Amino acid sequence: MMLSCVPAGACPTHSSWKAGKYILLSVTVPVHGKKLAMDTLLPSVLDDAESEKLQLGERRVSRTGVDVRGPKDQRSSPDGNVLDGGESEEEERGGDDEEEACDPAGQTCYMEACEALQVAPASYFLQHVQSSELSMMHRGLGPQGTKALAVPLVTNTSILRLNLRDNWMEGIGGAAVAEMLKENCYITEVDLSNNNLGDYGARAVAGMLTENSSLVSLNLSGNNFTDRSAEHLGPALIANSKLQHLDLSHNALGERAGKNLGDSLSENTGLRSLSLAWNCIRGRGAVMLANGLGGNIFLRTVDLTFNGFGKEGAIALGQALKENAVLEELNVSSNRIPPEGAIHLAMGLKVNKTMKSLNMGRNPIQNAGCYRILKALQENPDSAMEKLDFLGITVNQDFEDLYTAVKEIFPALAVNHGGRVGTFRKGKA
């Protein structure tokens, strides 16, 4: 039997690597050893596909019944001589075997995992396992292929950016990746978008966020998350202060999700950008989410495109802009905001000093709403606004005249709109 172990100090940022201990990474037995290796590394994935806690890489050597001594241990040889480092003469002669068993890149471990899970190995992974970025989009890994991939990634120290977009890994595969990220302290950017993780996967990801301290960017777009997902993700965002970029767009987050995420955003101290575009946040949920943005002092960019904020949500956003002194970019296009909502939002812009970009396109705010927003900038000499987007909204000559006047105050201001009334009429014959 050959053992592959690493010292606990290899990953000092994670609490599970105890000083002076060794963690078993793989076990290889000459006869039928590959199956044993996978059972040791991935028992809950192999034995219980629905297990809520997947244990990918952490198994103490003591559980195998094999004595693995630390570097400070000493052991006597048969002739009575003491060998430093606890190594026998046989072990010294077997250096080549030990080097082979280490498998630092994880190729052997991955091949064994694929065999145990009965999936075809991905040659691309074997070729790029030592690269700083691993991009495996649209590979059709599925739940089993994702689990096999997660096994060697537990101890991989080369990959810093991981892209597994559109692999239909579902909740089980997502849970395997989440469990891997609890142990891997080198990966900083992960894309799990369009994988149908569902609420089960969201729960696993939330558990990972409460323990991971190295992840900076996470893309969870298009994963069929519902309000139940937000119940898990919300508290995780309070506990995690390292994650800076989060994408939850193209999901099914609704009114209750808006409330949960709003409460979390008011206490989050890490996020710099957040996308909730293409969800179903409306009504009371939109108001609560806007209130959370008002209390957040770290977010710089927020995308709320294609939700249902309406008049009430726009009023709450206007109040948030009065209180928030950090937010720089806000996208609330296609949110069914009427002219009254735009007027209240403009009241926030009248005192805000940090907003640089506002997108109000494809909302029924009409010329009146556009005019009031532009007028608010004219009345706020401390405004930092650089870009206004009113795409799909026609304006009249009064708006154009006001824009000319505002340009004298803010020469760098750029305004995009759906055209001026009358400019598209056909000329008479």
Tens of pLDDT along 281-324?
Answer: 999 999 999 999 999 999 999 999 999 999 999 999 999 999 99
Q: Are residues 241 and 361 in the same domain?
A: yes
- Whether residues 7 and 148 fall in one domain: no
* Judgement on whether residues 232 and 286 belong to the same structural domain of the protein: yes
pLDDT by residue (tens digit) across 382-393?
999 999 999 999
Q: Is the pLDDT of residue 30 over 60?
A: no
How many CA atoms within 13 Å lie on the side-chain side of 27?
26
Which of 70, 102, 134 is at the close of a domain?
Answer: 102
Pairwise CA distance, residues 135 & 140, whole Å = 13
The per-residue pLDDT for 26 is 38
Q: Is residue 82 domain-resident?
A: yes
- In this prediction, residue 270 has a pLDDT band, given cuts at 50, 70 and 90, of very high
Question: For residue 106, what pLDDT is reported?
Answer: 82
- Does some domain include residue 32? yes
Residues 170 and 259 placed together within one structural domain of the fold = yes
Record the tokens describing residue 327, joined without a space.
């937010």
Residue 142 shares a structural domain with residue 73? no
Residue 76 has pLDDT above 60, yes or no: no
Q: pTM of this prediction?
A: 0.80
Sign of the dihedral through C-alpha 249, 253, 258, 261: negative
Number of domains the chain is built from: 2
Rounded mean pLDDT of the chain?
A: 83
Instruction: Please tell me the total number of residues recorded for the chain in this structure.
Output: 429
Q: How far is CA 52 from CA 181, 235, 276, in A?
A: 15, 18, 27
Q: If pLDDT is split at 50, 70 and 90, which confidence band does 105 have? A: low
Residue 1 confidence (pLDDT) above 50: no
Name the domain boundary from 102, 126, 151: 102
DSSP annotation of 395? B
The whole-number pLDDT of residue 56 equals: 46
Q: How many Å separate Cα 74 from the centre of its chain?
A: 46
CATH number at residue 327: 3.80.10.10
Confidence of residue 10 (pLDDT cuts 50, 70, 90): very low
Nearest to 136 by CA among 126, 72, 15: 126
Q: Within this chain, do residues 279 and 410 fall inside the same structural domain, yes or no?
A: yes
Residue 310 lies in a domain: yes
Residue 408 has pLDDT above 80, yes or no: yes
Residues 77 and 129 both lie in one domain: no
Q: Which tens digits make up the pLDDT trace of 369-381?
A: 999 999 999 999 9
| Domain assignment present for 110 | no
**What is the predicted pLDDT for the residue at 422?**
67
Residue 423 in domain: no
**Domain range enclosing 207:** 118-417
Rounded to 5°, angle at Cα 371 from 369 and 376: 100
Q: Does residue 168 sit in the same domain as residue 25?
A: no
Tell me the pLDDT tens digit for each residue of 117-130: 999 999 999 999 99
Residues 353 and 234 in one domain: yes
Examine residue 409 and state whether it is found in any structural domain, yes or no: yes
Position 101 scores a pLDDT of 53
Whether 252 and 210 share a structural domain:
yes
Final residue of a structural domain among 49, 70, 102: 102
Query: Is 254 within a domain?
Result: yes
Q: Are residues 176 and 316 in the same domain?
A: yes
Residue 29 confidence (pLDDT) above 60? no
Q: How far apart are CA 125 and CA 128, in angstroms?
A: 5
Mapping DSSP to helix (H, G, I), strand (E, B) and coil, where does residue 249 land? coil
Looking at the fold, whether 91 and 63 belong to one and the same domain comes out as yes
The answer to whether residue 111 sits within a structural domain is no
Residue 70 has pLDDT above 80, yes or no: no
